[in-house]
Amino acid sequence: MAHPPAKADLASSAGARGGDLARDRAAQATPAIAAAARLTAEHQHEPGALLPILHAIQDELGCIPPETVQTIAEMLNLSRAEVHGVISFYPHFRTEPAARHVVQLCRAEACQAMGADALAGHARGRLGCDFHQHSADGEVTLEPVYCLGLCAQSPAMLIDGQPHARVTPARFDALLARTLKEPA
């Protein structure tokens, strides 16, 4: 007599079916969804797979497009809210492409103690935008980061991934002007 499948078998076969369905759908979907499905399949068996998957998607696509969330969720047997919650929790993840240049100001404690708030106010005014937005000329995305390991030389920031320490408003302006002169 055949035995019913164990609960774990059911869960794993339901997961496999969900993953198959998501992959089938992704094969006929947008390039972003297809890329998300491929990268999710590559990493989904790692412990704590969601974070490496989100990093891989953002590294390849420049952001995590909202339309990929359902595919990621189905393949990992998570809810869309769970995936969205992780994306929105970490300031590193963005849901739309960044501008040509990305300025990331440290907002963590040591930098705050050395004037990061004033620097942030200066940067907002200079760029004409708030955090998570693009500058008025569309050239720069302003993002917060939380400690760059440069606490002894705070306040610190990254421009296009390059670290800069002891940043004053005047130094911010000089670095930004130099960055904007760089050829596209």
Closest Cα partner for 83 from 92, 71, 98? 71
Site for ligand FES in 85-114 (CB under 6 A): 106, 108-111
Candidate ranges 80-88, 91-99, 149-157, 173-181; the one touching ligand FES (CB under 6 A): 149-157
Q: Specify whether the CB–CB gap between 155 and 170 falls below 8 A.
A: no
Q: Indicate the angle between helix axes 69-76 and 7-27, nearest 10 degrees.
A: 150
Give me the residues paired with residue 104 across strands: 143, 158
How many residues of this chain interact with ligand FES, rule: CB under 6 A? 11
Q: How far is the CB of 144 from ligand FES (least distance, A)?
A: 11
Question: Quick one: 45 exposed, middle or buried, by C-beta within 10 A (0-12, 13-18, 19+)?
Answer: exposed
Please select the residue that binds ligand FES; options are 154, 159, 167, 176, rule is CB under 6 A: 154
Structure tokens, 65: 């497009």
Note whether 147 binds ligand FES by CB under 6 A: yes
Note whether 150 binds ligand FES by CB under 6 A: yes
Site for ligand FES in 52-91 (CB under 6 A): none
Using CB under 6 A as the criterion, what x/- string covers residues 120-139 for binding ligand FES? --------------------
End-to-end CA distance of the chain: 70
Q: How far is it, in rounded angstroms, from Cα 101 to Cα 160?
A: 6
Q: How far is the CB of 130 from ligand FES (least distance, A)?
A: 19
Q: How far is the CB of 151 from ligand FES (least distance, A)?
A: 3
Note whether 151 binds ligand FES by CB under 6 A: yes
Q: How many CB atoms lie within 10 A of CB 139?
A: 15
Q: How far is the CB of 7 from ligand FES (least distance, A)?
A: 46
Q: How far is it, in rounded angstroms, from Cα 63 to Cα 143?
A: 13
Enumerate binding residues for ligand FES (CB under 6 A): 106, 108-111, 147-148, 150-151, 154, 156
